[in-house]
Amino acid sequence: MKAIVLHQTGGTENLAIKEIPVPVIKDNEVLVRNHAVAINPVDDFVRSNEGALQGILRPVAGEDLILGWDISGEVTAIGAQVTQFKPGDAVFGLVNFPGHGKAYAEYVAAPASQLALKPSNTSYEAAAAASLAALTAWQSLVTYSHIKKGDKVLIHAAAGGVGHYAVQIAKHFGAYVIGTSSAAKKDYVLQLGADEHIDYNSQAFETLVTDADIVLDSIGAPGHLDRSLAAVKDGGHLISLLVFFSDEQKEKAAARNVHTRLLSVVSSGEDATAIAALLASGELHSDIAQVYAFEEIAKAHEQIATGKTQGKIVVKI
């Protein structure tokens, strides 16, 4: 089969298509004929940074390094312990995150517990897209912030991969949603269902929002997490996707009973199944800005590295 292998951490020129054997599945795994893989900022981060490769992908010596975690395709074989899927099922999910997902490949061996059935109204591209980014939004809002009807939710980078799912998921739960983006993406954020928009270039969000039940912060800019802390109400939830909370920030939050968490998304078939139900009902959709060919993987990495992607980008296999 064809896979895209990373020769060594560095630039996109280190990614190359290689012919390698189809993976052998373990008893708890299914073999998926992969049709689409979604690209996330972590793909670019792990490709270019040896510390991130070791910490997130955790390679085993002698193995080909194959990036990517978001897959969607057809099950072609199942391991002895697998009962929830059969050959022919269309599935999607986040494979082995953190760990070695090996998703940039025609066939992927995936633990059955990490996958969900792909809804029939959702393309392979849209399903692959709704993996790492959608699970991050779900785990931030549902698992750790216990979102409920009437909550005020501030979502930073609402036009991006995680943000565009977070807006839709928060609306599904009946929240009042405020999304930030540049002015050019205001209409897009409102179209996703946000009740209010804040242009982060011209407005100081922490002066406009001081009583959010939940703030989802995925921005690395200096001081941004302090500003998000000012936007969350006493007893609320502040989720950071990128920046560690300092001891001082933790103390300030604790004094106000604000729950803080540096979230690191994890593979979960249960969460993917919840996402699948929302895709099936039409309450959630993947907005795909661009689909790239397998050979165009470098371009896909260059696009995600801009930090300006609207919705998701996907590579077709």
Ligand X SMILES: NC(=O)c1ccc[n+]([C@@H]2O[C@H](COP(=O)([O-])OP(=O)(O)OC[C@H]3O[C@@H](n4cnc5c(N)ncnc54)[C@H](OP(=O)(O)O)[C@@H]3O)[C@@H](O)[C@H]2O)c1
Q: Which stretch binds ligand X (CB under 6 A): 3-11, 49-57, 115-123, 181-189?
A: 181-189
Q: Which of 15, 75, 94, 241 binds ligand X (CB under 6 A)?
A: 241
| Residue type, position 267, single letter | S
Residues in 134-173 that interact with ligand X by CB under 6 A: 136, 156-157, 159-163
Instruction: Judge contact between 168 and 284, C-beta under 8 A.
Output: yes
Report if residue 131 touches ligand X, rule: CB under 6 A. no
The nearest distance, CB 225 to ligand X, in angstroms, is 12
Instruction: Judge contact between 119 and 72, C-beta under 8 A.
Output: no
Q: Any residues with CB less than 8 A from the CB of 268 and at least 6 apart, and which?
A: 94, 114, 135, 139
Closer to ligand X by Cβ: residue 85 or 237: 237
The nearest distance, CB 262 to ligand X, in angstroms, is 7
Closer to ligand X by Cβ: residue 42 or 284: 42
The nearest distance, CB 221 to ligand X, in angstroms, is 6
Torsion of CA 100, 102, 107, 112, to 10 degrees: 30
Q: Which stretch binds ligand X (CB under 6 A): 38-46, 56-64, 119-127, 228-236?
A: 38-46
CA 269, 272, 277, 279 torsion: positive or negative?
negative
Instruction: Judge contact between 271 and 144, C-beta under 8 A.
Output: no
Q: How many residues bind ligand X (CB under 6 A)?
A: 30
Report if residue 265 touches ligand X, rule: CB under 6 A. yes
Instruction: Judge contact between 248 and 89, C-beta under 8 A.
Output: no
The nearest distance, CB 245 to ligand X, in angstroms, is 13
Q: Which of 72, 131, 181, 268 binds ligand X (CB under 6 A)?
A: 181
Q: Which stretch binds ligand X (CB under 6 A): 29-37, 66-74, 108-116, 300-308?
A: 300-308
DSSP bridge pairs for 36: 72, 316
Report if residue 308 touches ligand X, rule: CB under 6 A. yes
CA 96, 100, 102, 108 torsion: positive or negative?
negative
The nearest distance, CB 100 to ligand X, in angstroms, is 17
Listed in sequence order, the DSSP H helices in 158-246 are: 161-172, 186-191, 205-208, 224-231
- The residue number with the shortest CB distance to ligand X is 160
Q: Which of 42, 90, 214, 315 binds ligand X (CB under 6 A)?
A: 42
Q: For the purposes of burial, counting CB atoms within 10 Å of the CB of 110, is it exposed (0-12), middle (13-18) or buried (19 or more)? A: buried
Report if residue 180 touches ligand X, rule: CB under 6 A. yes
Residues in 197-236 that interact with ligand X by CB under 6 A: 200, 218-219, 221
Closest to 299 (Cα-Cα) out of 8, 13, 33, 46 = 13
Q: Which of 267, 268, 286, 309 binds ligand X (CB under 6 A)?
A: 309
Instruction: Judge contact between 128 and 70, C-beta under 8 A.
Output: yes
Which residues make up the interface to ligand X (CB under 6 A)? 40-42, 133, 136, 156-157, 159-163, 180-182, 185, 200, 218-219, 221, 241-242, 263-265, 304, 307-310
